Structure 1
Amino acid sequence: MKIATYNVENLFDLKKSGAEYVEYIPYSQSAWDDHSYKTKLKNLSKVIRDIDADIIALQEIESREAFKDLRYQLKRDGLYYQYAKIADAKNTTIKVALLSKVPFVYTKELVVGYAYAFRNILEVKLKVNNEELYIFVNHWKSKAGPESQRISYAKALKKRVQELGNKNIIALGDFNSHYEEYKIFKRKRKHNDTDGKTGINHVLGTINYQTDLSPVLKIKEDEFYNLWYDIDKDDRYSYIYKGKKEALDNILVTGALLDHKGLDYKEDSLHSFVKPYLFKGKNIYRWQMSRGKVRRHKAKGYSDHLAVVAEFTLNTN
């Protein structure tokens, strides 16, 4: 079973809601119009089809309408996801979603905070050959905000994981946090308002398991292993900022998915989804916009993030 996460970079629909980013106001000077929108859908569809995951988490989708159009484009292009959910209970500008070939047992949303700045986390429970699997789709606050805001996401997620207990749990998405964020942000006053503590490392416990998968890690029930540690350091990235590779998108698993019983992570399977067409020179071939006072859509490119993919197997012994 292949599971992926992909930040699609601002998939806005063509209905004016008043909450859009300026450059995504439909039919304005920025040329966010039928041609740009259809091109964006087709380009994202190509990437998602090439990944061909059984379950894929998505970030930065504006609305149910945009999500429906993407799903329809995928179906037209030969990839049908029968099960789909977008976290739209809260009216944030962009939202997280999940596409799946595996049926849902239920879906719900975790409220991180009531302020507009906080997006809900999407919780989905599935059953794979009678094995329960919980997936949490995240899109944490960007680096425009301090670490305390990302800690709010981590605490909401941790609280729910503690309620569930020893289960097969995957937390994935755009955490806007490097897998070793605690090393990177220490000297950045703008970010470090938490005395060196980070959401991804300290609250979720990934700082305690910075090793490979052999021998099997004895992970505490409410802590996670970051699958980036399963691959070579040079390959750990999903984003490039000013020529520097970063790993903002993560797939975290609980110990139940590493115990060689039932549903389990397949060792050495984690990878960022790298294809030549997703790059322009040394940079990721993001969705293209002109520079200048009025930024215009060029109707070219994909996303500023690469997808991250992992495989899971069912051990029947």
Structure 2
Amino acid sequence: MSSSFVRFALVLLFVMQLGADCAVAADVVKVATFNCEWLNRRRIWVKYGLPLKLTPQDDAIWNSREFRDGKYREAARAVAAAIREIDADVIGLTEVGDESDVRDLRDFVKEAGLDYPFWAAAHSTDTFTNQNVAVLSKRELKQILPEIPGREGFDLELDDPENEDTTGISKGMSVVFTAAGRPVNFYVLHLTSELGGHEKDAQRVAQASIVRRHYLKPMLRGEHVIITGDLNDNRDQPTIRRIRGRDDIEEDLVQTAGPTFHARKQDEPDESWNARLRNHWTYEYAGRREQIDHILISPSVVEACSKENQRRQIGIHFLDLNHRFDNDTRRASDHRAVLLTLEFHE
């Protein structure tokens, strides 16, 4: 056997091993956000189509803990089936209940065939709706922060800068897991509603400022950041711009939906590209489809999910979930889920 052949064989073996090592090094993580639409036991009647404030007649029925428990379990099983279909590694949930409710939901998901050994619920301060946010995870949660601290001022009136108020974040949390050996700071948020005019819009932007201040600390340390949840604003609106950092000097978060991140493919017809982008929505109101549930990622995530001379290894899906309850008359949620697949290479 010639020495040149031996050298060739050794080089080939090295290249094959290098390729195998690279394949093993990739760490694929699926993250998602899903609004469970009023899945909280204390206000479960809203999920069945009743107003938040019940009539005395309805209150007499729904005030029974046993009755509410049964209705909660029925609805939770439908939501659990939807979560099972999403099949994320780490999922942020909005419009859920307290820790007990989330524990029950996690058990129903396991009953449906998907186990999340790690989970956490936020410490919600929303006493009006009693809604909350939570995380279910297949990956160990290295750190759990059940609330996002801080307050921010905002103007109550457009034409009166002296009329101010402050706000915090009533439904928000963060956890830390690892991907490819690096910490990932995963936030779940439900910002204040769009209903209420300027005051609510200004309050929502103020809440976005709190979020921005909080995640900048780990991001500037070089850690990954992922923001998820129902942010109650569309991609081009001030709340999203503020959370991303579009109006300050630090690095911006990346919007994972829309035309900027999903540029037209080579030789792709306009009709095909526009059809893809029209699918980037999560909620329909008065016939208008918008994306109010978001997944935003730090530039470090994009970099870690990119290989030299190759397109970033990131894929997004907007999921229609048709699981039903209440004699098949109601869907598990009126929101679509967002699922992001991240292939970390470092």
Shorter-chain TM band: 0.7 to 0.9
| Structure 2 partner of 1:242 | 286
CA distance in 2, matches of 1:139, 1:52: 21
* The one of 49, 62, 70 aligned to 2:105: 70
Which one-letter code corresponds to 2:252 in the other structure?
E
Which one-letter code corresponds to 2:72 in the other structure?
Y
CA distance in 2, matches of 1:117, 1:22: 25
| Structure 1 partner of 2:4 | none
| Structure 2 partner of 1:12 | 40
Distance 1:48 1:274, change over 3 A: same
- Secondary structure of 1:272's aligned partner: strand
* The one of 135, 154, 162 aligned to 2:216: 162
Which one-letter code corresponds to 2:212 in the other structure?
K
CA distance in 1, matches of 2:342, 2:95: 25
CA distance in 1, matches of 2:253, 2:103: 32
CA distance in 1, matches of 2:278, 2:124: 39
Q: Larger deviation: 25-34 or 198-207?
A: 25-34
5+ residue gaps, structure 2: 1-28, 45-50, 153-165, 263-275
CA RMSD, Structure 1 to Structure 2 (Å)? 3.3
CA distance in 2, matches of 1:81, 1:65: 15
CA distance in 2, matches of 1:254, 1:74: 30
Q: Larger deviation: 164-173 or 199-208?
A: 199-208
* The one of 219, 224, 231 aligned to 2:253: 224
CA distance in 2, matches of 1:140, 1:38: 26
| Structure 1 partner of 2:337 | 307
| Structure 2 partner of 1:266 | 313
CA distance in 2, matches of 1:310, 1:265: 13
Deviation string, structure 1 residues 186-212 (Cα, Å, up to 9, x no partner):
xxxxxxxxxxxx12114523589xxxx
Q: Is the 8 A contact 1:271 1:309 kept in 2?
A: yes
Deviation at 1:121, TM superposition (A): 2.0
CA distance in 1, matches of 2:31, 2:120: 16
Deviation at 1:34, TM superposition (A): 4.1
Quick check: 1:149 aligned with 2:206? Answer: no
| Structure 2 partner of 1:211 | none
CA distance in 1, matches of 2:187, 2:285: 26
| Structure 1 partner of 2:148 | 110
Instruction: Trace 1:37-52 onto structure 2 (pairs within 5 A).
Output: 37-52=72-87
Number of residues of Structure 1 aligned to a counterpart in Structure 2? 269
Instruction: Trace 1:90-101 onto structure 2 (pairs within 5 A).
Output: 90=125, 92=127, 93-101=130-138
Which one-letter code corresponds to 1:204 in the other structure?
R
With the length of structure 2 as denominator, give the TM-score of the two structures: 0.69
CA distance in 1, matches of 2:119, 2:189: 16
Distance 1:298 1:207, change over 3 A: farther
Quick check: 1:176 aligned with 2:232? Answer: yes
Which one-letter code corresponds to 1:167 in the other structure?
E
- Secondary structure of 1:50's aligned partner: helix
Deviation string, structure 1 residues 63-122 (Cα, Å, up to 9, x no partner):
112111101111112211111111126354111110000001111121354979841420
Deviation at 1:26, TM superposition (A): 8.6
Name the structure with the higher helix share.
Answer: 2
Identity of aligned residues (%): 23
Q: Is the 8 A contact 1:13 1:65 kept in 2?
A: no
Q: Is the 8 A contact 1:111 1:121 kept in 2?
A: no
CA distance in 1, matches of 2:186, 2:178: 11
Deviation string, structure 1 residues 36-68 (Cα, Å, up to 9, x no partner):
222211110111001110000000112112111
Q: Is the 8 A contact 2:176 2:184 kept in 1?
A: yes
